[in-house]
A and B are shown apart, each in its own frame.
Chain A
Amino acid sequence: MNLRRDVFQAIADPTRRAILLLVASQALTAGAIASNFDTARPTVSKHLAILTECELLEQQQQGREIYYQLNPKKMKEVADFIEPFRKMWDDRFNKLESIMTSKKHELLNKNH
C-alpha cells in the first residue's frame, strides 16, 4: 500500500503530470524533457527521479543516452485504483438519466 501512496504523491504534482504527458507519445532524454520547462535542469532531474522511483517512468539505455519512457502497466494500476468509485457513480447517473428520460413527458406536463 505504501508504493501506491507514493504513486499518488508523484502524480499530484503538475510538473510531473506534464512530464508523463510528454513521454506518453515517445521516449525522451532528460535534456529533451527539461527543454520543455522553464524550471532549472536539476529540478526536472529530481522530478524524473521520483517518477522513476515509483515506476511510472522506465529508463532505457541507448548508446550513451538514457531515454525515459512511460510504464503503461503502472499507469493502468493508478487509473484502476479510482475506477471502481468512478464506475459506481457512472452506473448511478446512467440510471438517473434513463429514469428521468422515460418520465420526461409526464414530469414536464405536470409542470404546466
Chain B
Amino acid sequence: MEQKTKINAEEGRQEYTITREFDLPVELLFRAHAEADLVAQWMSTKVLKLESKKFGGYQFETSDPQGNVVFKANGVIHTFIPNQKIIRTFEMDNAPFGVQLEVYEFQRLTDDTSRLNMHVVYESTAQRDQVLKLPFSQGLNWAHNKLQDIVGKLK
C-alpha cells in the first residue's frame, strides 16, 4: 500500500519536507490549522493561544493525566493567507531543538481533495537530525521499559 504521508529528509541538510494528500476540501484542511478548537483536537494538545493572522502568535500545552505539563510549544505567525499558506516559527520549551521555521502550503486538488506540503527548516543539521530521531529513541525507550517490566515480573 502506498504511504499517504511522505517525508523527505536528505543527509547533511537542516530541513525536511512532509507531504500528505487529504480527502478533504482545501478549505477544511486549512481550517484544521487555523482554528484553535480544531487544532486542539487533532494535535491532542491544549491551545492556550492561537492568533491566526500576520504577526499573530500561538501557544500549545499538553499535560499528562496527572496534570503535569509534558509538552509546551510556541511560535509567531509571519504569513497567513487563507486556504493557501501559513509561515510560522515553532519552538518547544525545555528542548534542545532551537527554533524551526515552518512553511505550510495548502493546495486544492479537486473539490473534495487537497494536499499539504510542509517545509521545516532548523538552525542546524544536528538539530534537525535530533528531531527526526526523537520518535525513534522514544520507541527504543519504550521497548526498553517494556523489557524491564517483563524482566521485573520474572524475578
Interface positions of A (Cβ within 8 A of B): 5, 8-9, 11-12, 81-82, 84-90, 92-97, 99-101, 103-104, 107-108, 111
Contacts and interface: CB of A to CB of B under 8 A. Distances in A.
Contacts of B152: none
B48 interface: no
Contact of A84 (B6, B27, B42, B139): B139
B112 to A, nearest CB: 9
Given A93-B5, A100-B24, A9 B42 contact: no
Contacts of A108: 25, 27-28
A82 B136 CA distance: 7
Interface size on B, as a range, is 20 to 34
Interface of chain A, helix or strand or loop or mixed?
A: helix
A85 B7 contact: yes
B9 interface: yes
Contact of A107 (B7, B18, B31, B139): B31
A93 B4 contact: yes
B32 A100 contact: yes
Contacts of B136: 81-82, 84-85
B4 A101 contact: no
A90 B3 contact: yes
Contacts, number: 82
Interface string B116-131: 1000000000000001
In the A-B complex, the 7 residue pairs with the closest CB atoms: A84-B135, A12-B11, A8-B11, A96-B42, A90-B5, A95-B42, A100-B28
B50 interface: no
Interface string B1-36: 001111101111000001010111101110110000
Contacts of B25: 108
B138 to A, nearest CB: 8
Nearest to A89: B5
Nearest to A97: B22
Given A85-B132, A85-B134, A99 B41 contact: yes
A8 to B, nearest CB: 4
Contacts of A85: 7, 131-136
A88 B43 contact: no
B38 interface: yes
A73 B69 CA distance: 40
Given A92-B42, A100-B22, A100-B38, 15 more contacts: A12-B10, A82-B136, A84-B136, A85-B131, A90-B3, A90-B5, A93-B5, A93-B42, A93-B116, A95-B41, A99-B32, A101-B23, A103-B28, A104-B24, A111-B27
